[in-house]
Amino acid sequence: MRDIAILTKYYKNYNYGGMLQGYALHKVISMLGYSVDLVSYDVRQNSNPVYVSLIQQCKQYGLRAAIYKAGEKAIGKCNFLISDLLETRIQKFNQFMIDANANTKLYNDDTILELGNEYKIFVSGSDQIWNPNSVRKLYLQTFINAPNRKISYAASIGRNTFTEHEADILIPYIRNFGTISVREETAKKLLENYIQNNIYTVIDPTMLLSLEDWDNIASKRLIIGKYAIVYFFSNNLAVRKASMDFCNRHGLQMVLIPYAKQEFNLTDGKGVGKRLKNIGPREFVSAIKHAEFVLTDSFHGVVFSIIYQKPFAVFERNKAGHVSMNSRLYDLLNTFDLTDRLIDIENIGLLDSLIEIDTEKVVKILTQKKCESHTFLKESIDKAVRSVDNGTGK
């Protein structure tokens, strides 16, 4: 029996932040001296226990939200227009998984029961594993009923509210965790409305690693000269134009990372700028490491900007069709006292004031948060493993 199984959105998760957070948590726990694996589980092949169908989502959120979501999916189906670049990018993600050498055999909802006999304890997290729109049974640890063997680390909900239906499904499972930590203060406050357990707030696992750790996996420099990274999930043309104007004013080459969702969208093919179409996780880290500035609406775009002490501007995501998706960004900026870096169309003129960043303040906060979160993770795992070894966690 191995010590720890990590349950997160890692296997074939072709999202830079998603894969890098899983890698980071695995590396941190390995450095604690435990045998640990990232459980291979294909999200696309297993069902959401909260919303089995689009009809259920319509009932909860109304027709407008359902139409918006359906429209996003329809545009995403045009992947054939970018199939060549996605194929190369996915190959790099898959190679990164192979190099990490952390995966298990492939599990599904019918076989996850086997995990209970193969690992002592289970760590769910990080990333949006408890978001009602994308949760899975694995992340809720439905296969085991022993709280002492169940930990969540930096679990994210990506929301600030639950519907009654969502709470009815999710809360009984979350309440059964012996140790609960979340990534956002918003998530902590939300869960405290339903759960009496102590709930802790910790930083994203990517922030637990050192600069040297990330330098070791970063690819060689991709761009010669000074440049700004432009990395957006939303399709706001006004934001793209503002980014281009900013780069022109400051003599920076505009370097875009397009198709952040690994899906076709109408915006990423428009306008000027160099496009890093085929990059994998290693190249993503390198691109931010060597940038002069970062413009993004991505949570992990901000995280790696903080890790590498880069000045950045973070734009709010499109709010139509989303339930407080921006809450993750608000909480992250609050934690590091960087709320002045939040930009929307109304205050776009403030961009130029963000060209520099107080790195001393950022490093001080990060050092403190890293120490607190690392201590929490180590003590939680040590306690859980002892309980199993002593026969009290079964």
* Class of the domain covering 2-208+368-390: alpha beta
Q: pLDDT band at 324, cuts 50/70/90?
A: low
Average pLDDT over the chain, rounded to an integer = 90
CATH number belonging to the domain at 218-357, selected among 2.40.50.100, 1.25.40.10, 3.40.190.10, 3.40.50.2000: 3.40.50.2000
CA separation for the pair 151, 202 (Å, rounded): 13
83 compared with 278, residue with greater pLDDT: 278
Q: What is the mean pLDDT of residues 137-153?
A: 98
Chain-centroid distance, C-alpha 257: 17
Q: Which amino acid is at 349?
A: G
Lowest mean pLDDT across 43-47, 213-217, 302-306: 43-47
Q: pLDDT band at 321, cuts 50/70/90?
A: very low
Q: What is the pLDDT of residues 373-393, one digit of tens each?
A: 999 999 999 999 999 999 865
CA separation for the pair 392, 386 (Å, rounded): 8
36 token code pair: 């640990």
At 322 the pLDDT is 46
CA separation for the pair 278, 270 (Å, rounded): 17
Tokens 């490093």 belong to: 363
Q: What is the mean pLDDT of residues 146-151?
A: 98
222 token code pair: 């991709």
pTM of the model: 0.92
What DSSP element (H or E) covers 61? helix 54-61
Q: Looking at the chain, which residues constitute the CATH 3.40.50.2000 domain(s)?
A: 218-357
Is pLDDT of 47 > 70?
yes
Task: Please provide the size of the chain in residues.
Answer: 394
At 55 the pLDDT is 62
Is pLDDT of 356 > 50?
yes
Q: pLDDT band at 394, cuts 50/70/90?
A: low
